Structure 1
């Protein structure tokens, strides 16, 4: 059974997600391009962040906080440094002061907040100075950066992304996605309602009533068109079934008359051949009747079948037929009740066709019928099995193998498949590892029970 395709609501939601993702990616590209082009602003933001961390650590008595704030300077002694000076230019705290040009420590720059880029013998350095008010008076904090192995500028760019993209856009995107998903599901609910109604349609059965629901004009037209089409198809199907049943019933009387008259004739080779031909004609009539019923089985919520009972009834009916063909029937019932959701008439017709097929076409002297507690019926013969090239055509109507039993119509297995499909069941066929072929009838809702079953 092929997997069910995704729903329309899911497809639309996926498309909405892709639109949001593309929007976010485009925002990332635009913001990244804009801020990457403004390198001085990123550098200023990165340095101000470090100055803020240093100031916080200096105002705190927590030694761990001070260690965290100065870890950058100890990890990269040739790239970052700072100096804390009082109004007289004395160093109060410092790391890697050799990186700071002497002119940056001059006292006439004490109260000014500035940033500059200087060219030294070791390359370009970026400097920033800021005044800090402390209880003992104002002090000045100077920061220097040579290269950026600690990726301070990249971190500043990441903070810009967080501030201008992730924080404002993601919550809005999530809210939009949830709201649109809810609106999509609500807007498509009439389509879902119509689809659920369509799944309840059964071949040969009138279209079930559609509950009063406000459907959009397009869906309402589709539903009513489907109802009209189904009505015409059911009328054509009923007419076809009636014609087949009428023909089969009309043939049963002359067949019964011929059987009675044939019984009065003396035995002989011609008599034996006529009896075989008449038996084949009778089976064909029976299969035509079964075919006319295959598409009109009533599988209601209370339909249930006892597989053990049906198997016993079928074997009791076909035992004389099998004996005449030199075949013994063996039943292996389930040790537990095997109740499935299926029409008993459909199960009986399917099993009867399989057993008759095994008796006539398997070239076997024994046929086993087995009932499993999981709700399956298997028919196995001990003949030559089925040719590999024939497996693909077994269920084709009117198809017959090269060595098929004479007088058959090629309808038996096709009818079995139609019966199983009509009951939402399945049929499997394979060559048994030991010998012969095995057909398995599978029914859904295994071990089915209803409130009337005690």
Structure 2
């Protein structure tokens, strides 16, 4: 899979983030139009936020009230000509803090008036703001009233009020919502795609000739399950096609054997040296047809018949079976296992055919007196021919095959079916052929529901 292709999670993340940012921009436009150009709403926000900052400096210990001007508003309310004034009273009207002179006291509510929880009066319409207002707070079970006033808002506090409203009521909630939505979406996608990832891993092992080789679509989303079902149907059609090819190949092989047997029978009735030569050629042709048929059948092989096979026991069986024939052809055959047991997954009949082809190939293409050694290690079957005089240039070259070039192709194809590798090399004594089984053996597929 190309790394340039983004994951579904990355696509959803980008799209959700894009629309979240777009929603924030639209909401910012709405807030800007509703708040920034609405002087009455800005005035209310100014009084609410400014009085809250001032009230944060009130502390009550037992019956003692202490006040310390917060750092966030210290500069505005310590300077007499700053354009901002404030006053803090308790419920009885006692003064807790004031930066106001007699002139501005007249703009606040009189001390003998019980103030409401919130009040606001505009001194002049429009901007910059000119207003006076107040708000009640409960601190330590005691009630305090904080009054503020500003003329022309020289420090442009209204802008900080506006952006504070944007941060508290738009950016923070939207960010939290974005994180939650992204997290929930990615988690949901990850959970939903688990069976899809499992199906993708299983697809690497799909074999159209394995009757049990199907994608299991249990737990998949409906849309993805449709794709898995379509893949299963496609493999079924491929399997049916290969089965038809297998039947056709078997039929052709059967039809060819009959006339060849008849020809050989007729040649046996002719007493002539040329007839004997024709019989030998006919035997080669019969063997060629058999091997060609075997090679064609391998293309329609069903992996469902794989089982645990002991390479040591299998190789010993083949050596025991071929030994008389090898000796008749004036060769020697030796079996040398390097381990007691070596288990792999495979088809015993095919593995025997591969080893038999290697031994027969060694007999056909080496001079009389050649020793043939079959050895087995943990995952390797090796067939080595050892000439009495060392490697002969007039026999066969590495990578060669039998007289009609089919035997080693059959071995290579059988190795491929077992996900093994077929290696050919030379030694000082002769040629070495190895079938190396990998750790990644074919495994039975999950049955289709």
Please state which band the TM-score falls in when normalised by the shorter chain: 0.5 to 0.7
Q: 1:274 to 1:330 in 2, by over 3 A?
A: farther
Q: Distance in 2 between matches of 1:25 and 1:46?
A: 27
CA offsets 1:348-406 (integer angstroms, 9 cap, x no match):
1223334555777899x787655344x55455789999xxxxxxxxxxxxxxx998758
Q: 1:30 to 1:252 in 2, by over 3 A?
A: farther
How far apart are 1:202 and its partner, in Å?
1.4
SS at match of 2:405: coil
Q: 1:115 to 1:416 in 2, by over 3 A?
A: farther
Q: Distance in 2 between matches of 1:51 and 1:182?
A: 50
How far apart are 1:306 and its partner, in Å?
1.8
Contact 1:367-1:381 at 8 Å conserved across structures: yes
Q: 1:137 to 1:330 in 2, by over 3 A?
A: closer
Contact 1:53-1:69 at 8 Å conserved across structures: no
Q: Distance in 1 between matches of 2:322 and 2:68?
A: 92
Q: 1:415 to 1:164 in 2, by over 3 A?
A: same
Q: Distance in 2 between matches of 1:433 and 1:58?
A: 97
**2:253 paired residue number:** 244
SS at match of 2:349: helix
Normalising by structure 1, report the TM-score.
Answer: 0.55
Contact 1:85-1:93 at 8 Å conserved across structures: yes
Q: 1:427 aligns with which of 406, 416, 421?
A: 421
Normalising by structure 2, report the TM-score.
Answer: 0.56
Contact 1:377-1:441 at 8 Å conserved across structures: yes
**1:332 paired residue number:** 337
**2:167 paired residue number:** 158
> Gaps (5+ residues) in structure 2?
110-118, 445-449
How far apart are 1:305 and its partner, in Å?
1.8
Q: 1:87 to 1:46 in 2, by over 3 A?
A: closer
Alpha carbon RMSD of aligned pairs, Å? 6.7
Q: 2:22 aligns with which of 11, 19, 26?
A: 26
Matched, 1:109 2:107: yes
**2:345 paired residue number:** 341
Q: 1:84 to 1:147 in 2, by over 3 A?
A: closer
Q: 1:312 to 1:179 in 2, by over 3 A?
A: closer
Q: 1:251 to 1:114 in 2, by over 3 A?
A: farther
**1:55 paired residue number:** 55
Contact 1:297-1:346 at 8 Å conserved across structures: no
Between Structure 1 and Structure 2, how many residues are aligned? 390
CA offsets 1:292-316 (integer angstroms, 9 cap, x no match):
4424545446733221111223344
Contact 2:134-2:147 at 8 Å conserved across structures: yes
How far apart are 1:344 and its partner, in Å?
0.4
How far apart are 1:30 and its partner, in Å?
2.3
Q: 1:360 to 1:35 in 2, by over 3 A?
A: farther
**2:115 paired residue number:** none
**2:409 paired residue number:** 414
SS at match of 2:410: helix
Contact 2:383-2:433 at 8 Å conserved across structures: yes
Q: 2:147 aligns with which of 140, 144, 155?
A: 140
Q: After the TM superposition, which residues 263-274 of structure 1 pair with which residues of structure 2 at under 5 Å, given as runs?
A: none
How far apart are 1:225 and its partner, in Å?
8.1
Matched, 1:130 2:130: no
How far apart are 1:279 and its partner, in Å?
8.1
Q: Distance in 1 between matches of 2:331 and 2:259?
A: 31
SS at match of 1:346: helix
Contact 1:291-1:415 at 8 Å conserved across structures: yes
Contact 2:372-2:385 at 8 Å conserved across structures: yes
Q: Distance in 2 between matches of 1:142 and 1:322?
A: 118
Contact 2:326-2:333 at 8 Å conserved across structures: no
> Gaps (5+ residues) in structure 1?
118-123, 266-270, 386-400, 450-454
Give 1 or 2 for the bigger CA radius of gyration.
Answer: 2
